[in-house]
């Protein structure tokens, strides 16, 4: 089975049809066909944060999408743990020359642990760490 990590950008773009990354995100996922997605609770927290100030409708829409992700057989959601937080903090601390977020660091560690090399995002920080970014705008 092909495992692909799904970053915040992918989930947000999937929810918002007018997002500039919507069409590239949908295209990237279509090209993956039967890939099994992996994400983290930290990423889902970022998704909810992205919609927290966008009004009642979008806030409820984001909540529904996150709840569906949590129940999906096609997505594995990795739980937040003290160990994952500390490992993410360690990577964050070891890259003072980078602009990686803590959630990016936690995601990168999870990807390495699971030997996942591809990620649904456009974030160049992941390419700096050797991962294949799958979302591009033409």
- Does the pLDDT of residue 138 top 90, yes or no? no
Q: Quick count: other Cβ atoms within 10 Å of Cβ 42? A: 22
Topology of domain 3-133, CATH: Rossmann fold (3.40.50)
Over its C-alpha atoms, the chain yields an Rg (Å, rounded) of: 14
Q: What is the DSSP letter of 58?
A: H
Question: What is the residue extent of each domain of the chain?
Answer: 3-133
Q: Tens of pLDDT along 8-55?
A: 999 999 999 999 999 999 999 999 988 999 999 999 999 999 999 999
pLDDT of residue 33: 84
Residue in 34, 46, 59 with CA at minimum distance from that of residue 10:
46
């Amino acid at each position: 089975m092909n495992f692909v990590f799904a970053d915040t950008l992918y989930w947000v773009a999937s929810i918002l049809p007018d997002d500039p990354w919507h069409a590239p995100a949908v295209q990237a996922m279509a090209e993956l066909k039967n890939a099994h997605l992996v994400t983290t609770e930290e990423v889902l927290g970022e998704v909810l944060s992205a919609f927290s100030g966008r009004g009642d409708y979008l806030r409820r829409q984001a909540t529904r999408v996150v709840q569906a992700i949590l129940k999906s057989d096609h997505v594995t959601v990795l739980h937040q743990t003290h160990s994952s937080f500390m490992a993410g903090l360690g990577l964050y601390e070891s890259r003072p020359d980078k602009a990686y977020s803590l959630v990016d660091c936690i995601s990168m560690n999870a990807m390495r642990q699971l030997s996942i090399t591809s990620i649904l995002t456009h974030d160049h920080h992941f390419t700096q760490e050797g991962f294949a970014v799958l979302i591009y705008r033409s």
